[in-house]
Amino acid sequence: MKQNKMDYPLLVITLILVSFGLLMVFSSSYYFAIDKMQNKMHFFTADLSFIILGVFAMLVASAVDYKVYRKFAIPLFFLSMFLLIYVLFKGTVVNDARRWITVAGQRFQPAEVAKIGLIMFFAFSLEKNYTKLNQPKILGVYVLIIASVVLLIMKQPNMSTAVILAGVMAVMLFVAGLRWIYVLLFGAAGGFIGWLLVHNAPYRLNRMIAFLDPFKYKNDESWQVINSLYALGTGGIFGVGIGMSTQNKLYIPEPQNDFILATVGEELGLIGTVGLLILFLILLYRCVKIAMNAPDIFSTLLATGISTMLGLQILMNYAVATSSMPATGVSLPFISYGGTSISILLGSIGIMLNISKSTIKRTHKNDD
């Protein structure tokens, strides 16, 4: 066995995605920025500053030995829980949701911090308890943690992030050795809880009804989805060209955010959306490969959590933009505008790059 160097393909693909995302943020936000900010460069310059910060975080994280994160797992977990509670009382309200904390004039989402904080904590804790994971008392503690986190995030409300985090933690439990019977029970319980959440919140129920017949509600609940479909349809195979989108001219609210894929599809066509998806699949392949070849349980679970987080966000964003699932707010990794998100994601890639330095490359030799 011999040790690998840093996973440079992962680094290159990440930088390609970030550069492409910056271009699409400018193209998609151009008219919205003029209308709302009187500055066509507003979102581009803001996104660029967050990307610079994120790349710096990635480089630092790639240089820090991943083993060091064991020391910060518990403090970061408690910080994440504190921020999730704090935002419910002192958070900034935007579009009827209390998801942001404002510090020195800058907003950040504690849920984004919680993603990496909980992934790190679960990796640390499961490394110590994986042999006892299927004992009811031990498993019950993890279930309580997941339920607490989901409840806090749902109170913001932010169902998409709650679903992603629950999915990430469930996958980490499974990789750590959770029995199939518990996986099935968790799935059933999650489905039931989801049903309750939809039926007890009129706006979620309306979204579900609109999902079943989006064109019937094209002027209300399905406005964003229908305009996203119009954009994707208009783009055809080759697209109408960069900067030539019609739907992002104030038809799609905040087109640089959750529905940025619509602009990609309209301006670059099917080739653009499929090409982007292929890049994402290569990115995920590199991440999963790192997780599979990680040198210890902690790094395996840490890489698994980050890979799952990325995969779920990509899957959900594509599904929402194509009306393959009910509309919910989830950004497209490295492409959508968003300060906290892009910084955390790039920092997470830095952790993956550091783990890749320690992965073991197994070479097969012929027996003579």
pLDDT of res. 235: 92
Q: What is the domain extent for residue 14?
A: 2-361
Question: Does residue 270 sit within a domain?
Answer: yes
Average pLDDT score over the chain: 89
Q: What is the mean pLDDT of residues 168-192?
A: 89
Considering the chain, what percentage of its residues have pLDDT values greater than 70? 96
pLDDT of res. 75: 95
Domain count, the chain: 1
Looking at the predicted structure, is the pLDDT value of residue 257 above 70?
yes
Considering only CA atoms, give the Rg of the chain.
21
Question: Does residue 118 sit within a domain?
Answer: yes
In this structure, the number of other CB atoms found within 10 A of the CB of residue 139 comes to: 18
Contact between 350 and 60 (Cβ < 8 Å) = yes
pLDDT of res. 156: 87
Element of type H or E holding 259: none
For the chain, the straight-line distance linking the first and the last C-alpha, in angstroms and rounded, comes to 18
Question: Does residue 367 sit within a domain?
Answer: no
Question: Does residue 366 sit within a domain?
Answer: no
Instruction: Tell me the angle at which helices 260-292 and 223-235 cross, rounded to the nearest 10 degrees.
Output: 90
pLDDT of res. 126: 96
Please state, in angstroms and as integers, the Cα–Cα distance from residue 339 to each residue in 49, 112, 331, 352, 360, following that order. 9, 10, 11, 20, 34
pLDDT of res. 37: 87
pLDDT digits (tens, 9 = 90+) for 193-244: 777 777 777 777 777 888 888 888 888 788 889 999 999 999 999 999 998 9
Question: Does residue 312 sit within a domain?
Answer: yes
pLDDT digits (tens, 9 = 90+) for 328-348: 888 999 999 977 889 999 999
- In the three-class reduction of DSSP (H, G, I as helix; E, B as strand; rest coil), residue 299 is classed as helix
pTM to 2 decimal places: 0.93
Looking at the predicted structure, is the pLDDT value of residue 360 above 80?
no
Question: Does residue 356 sit within a domain?
Answer: yes
